[in-house]
Amino acid sequence: MASVVDLDVLMRQGWPAQTEVSVDGWVVRLSGGVTRRANSVLPLTAPADLRATLDRVELLYRERGIAPCVQLGPTARPGGLDAVLAARGYQVGARASVQTAGIEDVLRELARLEPGSSAKMTSAGVEVSERPDRAWMDLWWAVDGRGDAEAREVGRRILTGRPALYASWHDAAGATAIGRLALVGDWGGLYCLAVRPDCRRQGRAMLIIDALLDQARARGLRQTWLQVTTANQGARALYARLGFRTAADYHYRTLVPGNQSKG
């Protein structure tokens, strides 16, 4: 089982920012505002002058037109940073957890589950490649994307910033379900699970997971992780059935324009 420090490293590598800047021991991630993780601070050490560090961090984001944002989990330093940010005007976003499981355990549980009664499907129908094709990108951006064509290109560069596998299930209209598995050492990180609205509740997400983790096992990977929001009770219930367990909880705080207090 990975420590929370190890998980920070895995998630940082699994979803790499376009640019990282070190500010007094904090990692400032900058990616044109595309995705919160790739545009947030990872506060790994306690700076000597917290207020000065926050001033510098906020300036870096504002120079790029990005709202300052900090990821807060068990490794955030200094202690009490959450309260300091709240007093400064940072507001809490969605709360989430990082969950982990053994790949063999997940595959065993998947084999016991029925994929759905509306179609006879197996993971053999899922295509897995090392690059996302246009149909894969189209579905991901339709479900999770925010912004114009330039933002989509930044998203593509984030996705392909390190080795990963891309799974998709297609029909005549394009991709119906997709997923990404970041490859980091002997770990695989599940990201970008998305199903086209007209194809939901048919077990396709499970087939995508099964295909990705089967490929991971063939490559010698042993463990997998994912992130899930606290509010997504359906996904959390499914992941629990598959053997995932919460390793750490985290949330983000974002500085709302005009809401800053220096007190």
In terms of domains, do 51 and 119 share one? no
Q: Does the model's pTM come out above 0.85? A: yes
Q: Same domain for 106 and 128?
A: yes
Judgement on whether residues 236 and 181 belong to the same structural domain of the protein: yes
Query: What secondary structure does DSSP assign to 67-94, as a single string?
Result: --EEEESTT-SSTTHHHHHHHHTEEEEE
Residue 7, CA atoms < 13 Å, CB-side half-sphere: 23
Residue 83 and residue 130 in one domain: no
Query: Token digits for 261?
Result: 């207090």
User: What are 205's two structure tokens?
Assistant: 């997400």
pLDDT given for residue 172 in this prediction: 85
On the question of pLDDT at 45 being above 60, the answer is: yes
Instruction: Specify if 263 maps to a domain.
Output: no
**Token pair recorded at residue 62:** 């504002």
Mean pLDDT for the stretch of residues 233-259: 92
Q: For the chain, what is the domain count? A: 2
Residue 120's pLDDT band (cuts 50, 70, 90): very low
Q: Are residues 128 and 149 in the same domain?
A: yes
User: Residue 1 in 3-state DSSP?
Assistant: coil
Band (pLDDT 50/70/90 cuts) for residue 259 is low
Tell me, yes or no, whether 224 and 106 share the same domain: yes
Average pLDDT over residues 223-227: 98
> Which 8-state DSSP code applies to residue 263?
-
Domain range for 152: 98-249
Residues 79 and 129 in one domain: no
The answer to whether residues 109 and 88 belong to one domain is no
Collapse the DSSP code of 102 into the 3-class scheme (helix H, G, I; strand E, B; otherwise coil) and give the result: strand
* Together in a domain, 121 and 200: yes
CB within 8 Å of 120: residues ≥ 6 apart: none
- Among 57-61, 110-114, 116-120, 234-238, which stretch is predicted with the lowest mean pLDDT? 116-120
Question: How far is the C-alpha of 93 from the C-alpha of 234, rounded, in Å?
Answer: 20
Place of tokens 């330039």: 150
Q: Residue 257: is its pLDDT beyond 80?
A: no
Give the count of alpha carbons within 13 A of 194, CB side only. Answer: 19
Same domain, 60 and 127: no
Structure tokens at 146: 């925010």
Q: State which H helix or E strand residue 61 sits in.
A: helix 50-63
Return the pLDDT at 202.
Answer: 85
262 in any annotated domain = no
Q: CA nearest 251: which of 228, 232, 234?
A: 228
